[in-house]
Structure 1
Amino acid sequence: MPSTTVKERQQAALRTPTDLGANATRDIAGALTGLLADMFALYLKTKNFHWHVSGPHFRDYHLMLDEQGEQIFATTDDIAERARKVGGTTLRSIGQIHRTQRLADNDADFVTAEDMLAELLEDNKRMITFLREVHDVCDEFNDVATASLIENWIDEAERRVWFLYEATRTHR
């Protein structure tokens, strides 16, 4: 009987049974992990802007960003758990999020409310693109369960885009 290393035993302990196959596990879990990093980045930026918004529309923007932040955060657990369900692993640290995320942080001391909403609008539009890319990976391996979840997350992101767009439009 061949001996296994501690690392091999640990990796085996984290393998969740799946019928998707090794390539599907690798590609889907990897795509979900990238998506999760971006979702955390979007969440923190949304909360940052929620905490620091100011101006004549403070209450409306503050409440909208709080609602959007809660929705974004709610998806993080589902994304991570889905990566585990398909047999993979996912994020383990803030450092890994930073190394993996594609959405840019905003560390500015002051951002106008209009610029906050415009930046979040663009980030949510990019998130839709990322979601569609992960959906394509799922389609490649016939992972209908993950694809179905992603379809709901796309719908949620499209709603956020709609609200941010309407809040930034100039009505004349």
Structure 2
Amino acid sequence: MSTQKNVQQKAGTVETSPALRLDQEKAEQLVDALNTDLAATYVLYHQLKKHHWNVEGAEFLEVHEFLGEAAEEAEEAADELAERAQALGGVPISGMKDLQEAAPVSPEDNDVYDIRTSLSNDMEMYGDIIETVREHIELATSLGDHATAEMLRLHLVELEEYAHHIEHYLEDDTLVLEEATH
């Protein structure tokens, strides 16, 4: 096994692809935006997994499965975002510290909360990510990168769908009766 290390491309750099025909400055802006979305998506993924692991209560199974599915979707989206950043000539962010620093959202702390609080925190994070992705769609469109804009539009549809489902979970109407507080 070779111990030689050859850095093929330094993190934080962009080497534009001649095939995609985007100039350096545009590619750098797009890779930066994609890395921001990638970071936010991984923070969301980890928070959803935390809630998936810790959900309890009468509606456990349905919410557990929903959060697992939402986390899987976030993981798939992160992969697409990273692959597009790489295709544009960038280096996708991958280190946990770097991901958290680049994310426009912050995860909740490590404590375990009731599921209503957890879902409220998830919905807030989805909303913040939705706003950022909308801005990045506009950026990609204005820079003439319609492929990235389209990919982000599809990502936005998924984000909005999961946020909307969480909104329904948080409605007051439920078949489960609350226990009387003492």
The TM-score with structure 2 as length reference comes to 0.84
Counterpart Cα distance in 2 of 1:140 and 1:134: 10
Change (3 A) 1:48 1:140: same
Q: Are the aligned partners of 2:39 and 2:103 in contact in 1 as well (CA < 8 Å)? A: yes
SS of 2:101's partner is: helix
Q: Who is 1:147 aligned against? A: 149
Q: Which has the higher contact order (CA 8 A, sep 6+)?
A: 1
SS of 2:99's partner is: helix
5+ residue gaps, structure 2: 1-5, 175-182
SS of 2:28's partner is: helix
Q: Who is 2:127 aligned against? A: 125
Alignment of 1:105-116 (within 5 A): 105-116=107-118
Q: Are the aligned partners of 2:14 and 2:24 in contact in 1 as well (CA < 8 Å)? A: no
Q: Which amino acid aligns with 1:129?
A: E
5+ residue gaps, structure 1: 1-5
Alignment of 1:17-166 (within 5 A): 17=18, 18-166=20-168
Counterpart Cα distance in 2 of 1:32 and 1:13: 12
Change (3 A) 1:92 1:67: closer
Aligned residues: 166
Q: Are the aligned partners of 1:16 and 1:84 in contact in 2 as well (CA < 8 Å)? A: no
Counterpart Cα distance in 2 of 1:123 and 1:20: 32
Q: Cα distance, 1:13 vs. partner?
A: 10
Identity %: 23
Counterpart Cα distance in 1 of 2:30 and 2:76: 20
The TM-score with structure 1 as length reference comes to 0.89
Counterpart Cα distance in 2 of 1:23 and 1:15: 9
Q: Which amino acid aligns with 1:143?
A: D
Q: Which amino acid aligns with 1:44?
A: H
Counterpart Cα distance in 2 of 1:10 and 1:155: 33
Q: Indicate the larger mover: 115-124 or 97-106.
A: 97-106
Q: Are the aligned partners of 1:83 and 1:89 in contact in 2 as well (CA < 8 Å)? A: yes
Q: Cα distance, 1:88 vs. partner?
A: 1.8
Q: Which amino acid aligns with 2:152?
A: I
Q: Pick the structure with more helix per residue.
A: 1
Q: Are the aligned partners of 1:16 and 1:88 in contact in 2 as well (CA < 8 Å)? A: no
Q: Cα distance, 1:109 vs. partner?
A: 2.2
